[in-house]
Amino acid sequence: MSRYQGSKVNPSRFSWSQVKFYLILLPVALFMLLPIIYIFTTAFKPADELFKFPPSFFVVNPTVDNFKLLFERMSTTTVPAMRYVFNSVIVAILTVLLSVGLSVSAAYILSKKEFRGKKLLFEINTLALMFIPIAVSIPRFIIIVNLGLTDRFIANILPIIAMPVGLFLMKQNIDQVPDSLLEACYIDGGRELDILFRVIIPMTKPAIATIAILSFQSAWGNIEASVLYINNESLKTFAYYISSFTAGTTGGIGQGLAAASALIMFLPNLIIFIFMQSKVMDTMANSGIK
């Protein structure tokens, strides 16, 4: 137990001395919740409230007409909506598995192995954190075309499995794993895979959960592959399918569809983060500690 636990500085139970912290933290928390609240309220606004001036933050007369119109349009497409959902689920699962596997294995090598160019490779990865996805869309397109992967399902997955931020977080966490544990595994006859699955992965579960969330978000909302690399409608993702309803639409109908679509795409990310947010907090707390 911390030397301050249970003291006046950090009481173990509620104390009136903590009120000043709530006065600071609660407004900050409410302010950060505003975008989430706005997504929910906007999705249920009727057309007149969507174009109301001055605009209102909360919905006055909630309606589900936006969702009804969205589902009606989904039922009229040539390719069933569930096909796009299936594609997105498969893309998300494979992307998460491959991203986590690649990040863990690469971070383990960069953290615990010695070889020439190790620091340079990690610096290149750190430099890659500066680039947003749109900045590398042209190089990605050239690579996908030259590999002959256009109009193939793997084009939805391959461009997004490499995550510089995932490798960075994993390396910072694996750096904290004592070398003595790895040596003990070697003495017991363990091999590299034994070290990964028996030592590294169990001790870095929060970081792995964080990478899984980030890779899921990247895969679930990605429309780049469906727009640039794939022409076959049956291979495109649900994010592209949803965005196609709002592209080129104007007026109340277009805004209503966009609001309903945004909520549908946002919900899976929110649900996954709620269940795994404690792991994310642990990762961010430990990623910079040596």
Q: What is the pLDDT of residues 119-144, one digit of tens each?
A: 899 999 888 888 887 888 888 889 99
pLDDT band at 39, cuts 50/70/90? confident
State the average pLDDT for the chain. 83
Lowest-pLDDT range of 51-55, 111-115, 202-206, 284-288:
284-288
SS3 for 5? strand
User: What residues does 10 pair with on adjacent strands?
Assistant: 5
Q: Which of 51-60, 86-95, 200-209, 247-256 has the lowest mean pLDDT?
A: 247-256
Structure tokens at 189: 């006859």
Residue 66: per-residue pLDDT: 84
Token pair listed for 68:
């009804």
Banded pLDDT at 290 (limits 50, 70, 90): very low
Q: What's the average model confidence in pLDDT over 195-223?
A: 88
Helix (H, G, I), strand (E, B) or coil at 55: coil
pLDDT at 203 over 60: yes
| Digit-coded pLDDT (tens) for 218-273 | 899 888 888 888 888 888 998 888 888 776 555 556 777 888 888 888 888 888 88
The pLDDT value given to residue 82:
86
Beta bridge mates, 5: 10
Q: pLDDT at residue 5 above 90?
A: no
At 104, the pLDDT band (50, 70, 90 cuts) reads very high
- Measure CA 127 to chain center: 20
Confidence (pLDDT) at 7: 54
pLDDT of 91: 93
Among 67-81, 117-131, 244-258, 276-290, the least confident range: 276-290
Q: Where are the domains of the chain?
A: 70-286
6-20 pLDDT per residue, tens: 456 666 676 777 777
Cis ω before 54 (30° cut-off from 0): yes
Q: Is 150 helix (H, G, I), strand (E, B) or coil?
A: coil
Cα four-point dihedral sign 205, 211, 215, 220? positive
Report in angstroms the alpha-carbon separations of 201 from 92, 101, 196, 247, 284: 21, 10, 6, 43, 17
Task: Give domain 70-286's CATH superfamily.
Answer: MetI-like (1.10.3720.10)
What local confidence, expressed as pLDDT, does residue 251 receive? 52
pLDDT at residue 118 greater than cutoff 60: yes
Rg for the chain (alpha carbons), in Å? Answer: 24
Residue 168 carries which DSSP code?
H
228, 136 contact by CB (below 8 A):
no
Q: Which two tokens stand for residue 27?
A: 């407004």
Confidence (pLDDT) at 29: 85
How many angstroms separate the CA atoms of 178 and 166, rounded?
A: 21
Q: What percent of the chain has pLDDT over 90?
A: 11
- Evaluate if pTM is beyond 0.75: yes
* Count of CB atoms situated within 10 Å of the CB of 91: 24
Give strand pairing partners of 8.
Answer: none
Identify the band that residue 289 occupies on the pLDDT scale cut at 50, 70 and 90. Answer: very low
Residue 14 has a pLDDT of: 66
pLDDT of residue 1 exceeding 80, the answer is: no
